[in-house]
Amino acid sequence: MVNAITLKELSHRLQGRLAGPEDLIICGVNDLTQATQDQISFIGNKKYLPMLAESKACAIVASPDIQIDRPAIIVDNPILAFAKMLDIFAPPLPKVDVGVHPAAVVNSPLDKSIAVGAGAYIGENVIIGANTIIHPNVYIGSEVRIGQDCLIWPGVVIRERVIIGDRVIIHPNAVIGADGFGFNLINGKHCKVTHTGTVVIEDDVEIGACTCIDRAKAGATRVGAGTKIDNLVQLGHNVKIGEHALLAGQVGIAGSTNIGRYAMLGGQSGVIDNLTVGDGAQLTAGSVTYRSIPDGKMYSGWPAQDNIASLRQQAMLRKLPELQKTIMDLTKRIHELEQTIHNSERNDDRR
């Protein structure tokens, strides 16, 4: 973290082109609407120029095609530059001292570089890699394997025999390895199915707060390397997530479903059990699919279908009130024509 930096130094770190005074002091980064007179902001699209006119930011990061009315750093990708600035000005994370806090309960030998916070519990035969940080009130069950440089935030539960790779981040109150939702109806009662499997989280995965990843009935529920999972996501037993997938908040994936590499699932979308969502496939927010999605396809709606077909269907649905009025008008006219014909036929009979 830096508390202040010159515009020249910031431009150098962003590998941008300076357009303004080199010695201008920047004390932070913020969005256009909230930036103060000593902060820098960014603009990634010309449609935000009206907001720029009202912004108090002392400097702006922008692309070459946008005209700026104040000191600026010109970069090819302002959004990426903004992310870098957040890293530069980010306040320090809550600290857990290296070593084991006196109020932690640890039943396995640990590397001296590991930090374990107050109230954490670590079971027997646990192996944790170097430089991993265990925040307060984390539960780690017996025979768990956790790699190097991991960050486990408060309240996380990692059940017995779960395997976690290197550089994994698990946010508060996530639960990894709880029993899957498996029951058999026998003689009118729902009888629990024992789940003897585990969960494997590969390297560089990030798991959001309050997300639940259930253990497999047998074998492993698996999350592939580089996958990023948002808050409040539910992964059922024996689910397989490929590498570098993105799962937004409140996604639900039922048991034994396979999600491909680089797949993207929008918020509150769902996939029923025993399906396959292909590599690079997308399921838009709020959609639920009852069938597998081929590689590279985008599905949307409920039930989900090809996105273009779904959009056309939604366009037709918006026309339903107009179509209903048209049908009612036509029905009225038909009735009137029928009545006219009927009256004409009666008059002919009288003649």
Catalytic residue IDs: 237
Contacts of 316 (CB under 8 A, 6+ apart): none
Peptide bond preceding 303 in cis form (omega within 30 of 0): yes
Tokens 């984390």 sit on residue: 138
Strands 240-241 and 258-259: parallel
Report DSSP state, residue 70: S
Q: What is the C-alpha separation between 173 and 198, in angstroms, rounded?
A: 19
Angle 273-307-208 from CA coordinates, rounded to 5°: 50
Report DSSP state, residue 5: E
Q: How far is CA 257 from the centre of its chain?
A: 18
The residue among 103, 105, 107 whose CA lies nearest residue 118 is 103
Torsion sign (Cα): 146, 176, 102, 133:
positive
Q: What is the C-alpha separation between 25 and 10, in angstroms, rounded?
A: 10
Q: What are the distances in angstroms from CA 94 to CA 88, 90, 208, 252, 260? A: 17, 12, 17, 31, 35
